[in-house]
Amino acid sequence: MNKIYTIGFTGKNAEAFFSLLEKNNIKLLIDVRLNNVSQLAAFSKKDDLKYFLRKILNCEYAHRPDLAPTEKILNDYKKDIITWETYVVEYIELLNNRNIMSCINDKEFANAVFLCSEHDPKHCHRRLLAEYLQKRWNNYEIVHLK
């Protein structure tokens, strides 16, 4: 069975983070964060992460903001303007409107992982994205690396 991997960096030190990627033979990290250059991102800032992945794991890095929520959706949720349920509906609608299935091929996701910041995938768009893709591709299992 094929796998769709996800990972969040919050709550992990660099050793734990890169060890999880190595253990699962990840060869491509797909950054689905809206903001990947924040000082709060520590070792996972875009340019630093790209360097570490290449040097430590010989792993590629790709930033896919088209798979991230809009700033409005994200901020509305963080500020309790919308509920998680509304966030889910708006994010899925956004994926549909962006027609992401036309620019994603499941073969490119072999040994790939979706990265976001949230430790727990329960309330994170990376889980929603993985479930969205799982429904459209045959024979995929979702694995959240923790």
* pLDDT band of 103, cuts 50, 70, 90: very high
How many domains is the chain partitioned into structurally? 1
pTM as predicted: 0.94
- CA 124 vs CA 66, 71, 91, 102, 139: distances in Å: 16, 14, 11, 23, 23
The CATH number that applies at residue 26 is: 3.40.1010
Range of the domain at 14: 2-145
- CA 100 vs CA 33, 62, 80, 97: distances in Å: 16, 16, 27, 8
CA dihedral 20, 22, 27, 31 (to 10 degrees): 30
Residue 142 CB: number of other CB atoms within 10 A?
Answer: 17
> How confident is the model over 29-39, as pLDDT tens digits?
999 999 887 76
- CA atoms of 129 and 92, how far apart (whole Å): 8
pLDDT value of position 4: 96
Please say if the pLDDT value at position 54 is more than 80: yes
pLDDT value of position 43: 84
